[in-house]
Structure 1
Amino acid sequence: MSLNKTKTWKVLLVSLAAALSFSVLSACSSKGGNAADNSTAVATYKGGTITEKAFDLDQKIMKFLSPDQAQYLQIDAFKESILKQEVAFEYLAGQATDEAKKEAKKEADAQVEAMKKGLGKTYKDTLKQQGITEEDIHAYMVRVLTVYQDMLLKVTDEDVKKEFEATKGDFTVATLRHVLIGFTDADKKERSKEDALKLAKQVKAELDGGADFAEVVKKYTDDTASKETGGEYKDKPLGTYVESFKKAAQTLPLNTISEPVESQFGYHIIKVESRTEKTFDQLTDEQKENIKQSLASKSLENFMEKELDGIIEKINLPKSSAPADEKGTEPSASPEATKAAE
């Protein structure tokens, strides 16, 4: 079963890893050196503009950092979302503290070096193919990371404690077993909700009748990650699971068989074998840092949703020249990309 790693692109853009590994889902303007830029402004906001030339450069950088995400840039709605995010990063970077800028530069230096090492001899050729320079990449990262670091520095220890108290159930550690009846079976064949629920109820009935959990898992589960361990996930914080699964695992009486629990993956039959609550003092440094990052993420998302539109004065982004199909989707955009844009 997948853990709770799925986040919206709005949240992804504030994570350091996401900003660098899924760069197409975030944006910040790179000015591309000192060359004069007389191109049309595609976005005007309080305190500045973003030009067509700068935005084109950003898109090249995004394709370099995450080539498998390039398809998203074929969608007008997604391009506009990215441009608006670019406005946010430009605006917020301009207001960031010197400490945030200093930390961002250090991190960008490290990331560029790691990238060069990873690409090896192909690094320079890959940059050349995209029509960008190392300075472009570095400037892009610095601007994204400046905003990230500034948001992070604003989170206090008291904020972290308060957030823990509000979400402490997520830190409860549990050992549990489950059987997943997926909406896609082991042969990658689609299974209807009705059929999945019917089979999940059959699984529950067998377990209620005394069947061995591990044997039932081997026979029925579509969760390949836990099939060989009898469906077991041992000593994991409940906050790592998807929401519906987490809530069930937080409240289910120990050593009882749950009713079918629906998630985006299918129906789960769960048995919680142990559950231990954590206090704030028992958290690891990594867990506290994760809370801090989550709060920084929420702050940036809140800005995007509630303040950004008031800062943007005009968007003048040219529409795609490619004809759309009957649904309004550009022909080159995949269904996954279209769904993300929506």
Structure 2
Amino acid sequence: MPSRNNKAWRTIVVSMTAVLTLSIFTACGKENNTEPEVDNSKVVVKYTGGEITEKEFELEQRIIALMSPAYAQFLEMDEFKEYLARQSVTYEYLFAKADDAAKEAAQKQVDDQIAQYKTGMGGESQFQSYLEQSNLTEEDLRNYMHRIMTVSEYEKNQVSDDEIKEYFEDNPTDFTRVTVRHVLIQFTDAEGNERTPQDALKLANEVKSKLEAGEDFAAIAKEYSEDPGSKETGGLYENRRAGDWVPEFKEKALSLELNTISDPVETSYGYHVMKVEARQEITYDTMPDEDKEDIRNELAAGKIDEFMQNELNDIIESMDLPKSENSGEQGGNQGTEGPEGQGDQGQPAEGTPEDTTDSNNGE
């Protein structure tokens, strides 16, 4: 995604992370065609046009815990529960407003994704057992995925080509394609011991000297680099969007003379010694369709984010969530960012220069 503004618990992050991480499962279960149970549990949220019961909210939490284990620890925090409830209202409310075209498109996406899991993951019995441990069914997952994907599809359909073009024109260098090699020296060593900035810089300058003396960049990267996303490929990031990297790395990738060795570049990860091997500017007319689709997704997520910031408070009529034990007083509206101090959900794996995480390549 082209955004360089990845807030913690940003709108759609929790939900779409849960959907996408279905790929960790070994198979998919059978549909539950039994009659739904009557839900007589307490209403915990009332909003214009609907309500969420305690049982429904517990189901949402079980899905989050199963699909995205990194969030499980936060489910004991009342502050996070409130954010999750607000997000649930957002998707329930917007789902009710979505048109049939968005719902039909989302249903096809759900069916296709479930079919892929069943084809590629080796049978249903193991997955059924996995679901049963969390008291979930395939129908629970299908309903959840359909709601999230419908809202996403509907908001994407509201994004115009003019908005996509305007976004590109405001951020043209984000889409410049760059092939770069780098060696990263972190502020901690391989054993987890802290390095002083001076020690890290000294080692980075040693790397630079070896490269300027003509030693092979790939070999030096494999020996010295502490970036797990590129170390084994000789420090190589090939034909990447510049906007996917943190600002300092991006700036140097866009400005460094081709095939020269940079001075150490400091980022939050440490010091990078870089060499740009190729760089191609992109115009709107030559921009790949996948980039335009990423912009569309980004703008759609932004529309949901704006809804949570500007309209949600007027829609929620009451909220009475069950309190976690020993959680203390943590209430208060969180808008779209959630509790402070929980880090940046868009933060890449430690040691990589990218500003967004790419789950397909380990960066």
TM range (shorter): 0.7 to 0.9
Residue in structure 2 matched with residue 57 of structure 1 by the alignment = 59
1:212 equivalenced with 2:215 (yes/no): yes
Q: Cα distance 1:41–1:244, how it changes in 2: closer, same or farther (>3 A)?
A: farther
1:27-46 correspondence to structure 2 within 5 Å: 34-46=36-48
> 1:266 Cα shift?
1.4
Structure 1: give runs of 5+ residues left out of the alignment. Answer: 24-31, 328-336
**Greater relative CO, 1 or 2 (CA 8 Å, sep 6+):** 2
1:180-259 correspondence to structure 2 within 5 Å: 180-204=184-208, 210=213, 212=215, 214=217, 216-227=220-231, 229-259=233-263
Residue in structure 2 matched with residue 333 of structure 1 by the alignment = none
Q: Cα distance 1:295–1:324, how it changes in 2: closer, same or farther (>3 A)?
A: closer
Which secondary structure state, in structure 2, belongs to the residue aligned with residue 262 of structure 1?
A: strand
Q: Deviations over 1:111-130 (max 9, x none)?
A: 33344453632232233332
Q: Cα distance 1:291–1:145, how it changes in 2: closer, same or farther (>3 A)?
A: same
Task: Please give the alpha-carbon distance, in whole angstroms, between the structure 2 residues aligned to 1:229 and 1:341.
Answer: 27
Which secondary structure state, in structure 2, belongs to the residue aligned with residue 186 of structure 1?
A: coil
Residue in structure 1 matched with residue 291 of structure 2 by the alignment = 287
Which secondary structure state, in structure 2, belongs to the residue aligned with residue 282 of structure 1?
A: coil
Task: Please give the alpha-carbon distance, in whole angstroms, between the structure 2 residues aligned to 1:15 and 1:263.
Answer: 27
More helix by share: 1
Task: Please give the alpha-carbon distance, in whole angstroms, between the structure 2 residues aligned to 1:136 and 1:111.
Answer: 15
Q: Deviations over 1:98-117 (max 9, x none)?
A: 11111112222233334445
1:82-161 correspondence to structure 2 within 5 Å: 82-117=84-119, 118=121, 120-161=124-165
The equivalent position to 1:164 in structure 2, one of 153, 165, 168, is 168
Q: Cα distance 1:52–1:228, how it changes in 2: closer, same or farther (>3 A)?
A: closer
Which secondary structure state, in structure 1, belongs to the residue aligned with residue 184 of structure 2?
A: strand
Q: Deviations over 1:267-288 (max 9, x none)?
A: 1122323321012222222222
TM-score of the superposition, structure 1-length normalised? 0.80
Residue in structure 1 matched with residue 342 of structure 2 by the alignment = 339
Q: Which amino acid aligns with 1:20?
A: V
Which secondary structure state, in structure 2, belongs to the residue aligned with residue 280 of structure 1?
A: coil
Task: Please give the alpha-carbon distance, in whole angstroms, between the structure 2 residues aligned to 1:116 and 1:61.
Answer: 19
Which secondary structure state, in structure 2, belongs to the residue aligned with residue 339 of structure 1?
A: coil
Task: Please give the alpha-carbon distance, in whole angstroms, between the structure 2 residues aligned to 1:268 and 1:4.
Answer: 22
Task: Please give the alpha-carbon distance, in whole angstroms, between the structure 1 residues aligned to 2:305 and 2:254.
Answer: 27
Q: Deviations over 1:229-248 (max 9, x none)?
A: 54333332212323321122
CA RMSD of aligned residues (A): 3.4
Q: Cα distance 1:238–1:220, how it changes in 2: closer, same or farther (>3 A)?
A: same
| Residues 14 and 148, structure 1, Cα contact 8 Å, conserved in 2 | no
Residue in structure 2 matched with residue 26 of structure 1 by the alignment = none
| Residues 186 and 200, structure 2, Cα contact 8 Å, conserved in 1 | yes
Q: Which amino acid aligns with 2:315?
A: I
Which secondary structure state, in structure 2, belongs to the residue aligned with residue 49 of structure 1?
A: strand
> 1:165 Cα shift?
1.8
Q: Cα distance 1:57–1:225, how it changes in 2: closer, same or farther (>3 A)?
A: closer
Matched length: 320
Q: Cα distance 1:312–1:263, how it changes in 2: closer, same or farther (>3 A)?
A: farther
Q: Which amino acid aligns with 1:339?
A: Q
Task: Please give the alpha-carbon distance, in whole angstroms, between the structure 1 residues aligned to 2:233 and 2:129.
Answer: 46
Aligned-residue sequence identity (percent) comes to 41
Q: Deviations over 1:126-163 (max 9, x none)?
A: 33332233222221111111111111111122222222
| Residues 75 and 341, structure 1, Cα contact 8 Å, conserved in 2 | no
Residue in structure 2 matched with residue 320 of structure 1 by the alignment = 324
Task: Please give the alpha-carbon distance, in whole angstroms, between the structure 1 residues aligned to 2:252 and 2:11.
Answer: 26
Residue in structure 1 matched with residue 20 of structure 2 by the alignment = 21
TM-score of the superposition, structure 2-length normalised? 0.75
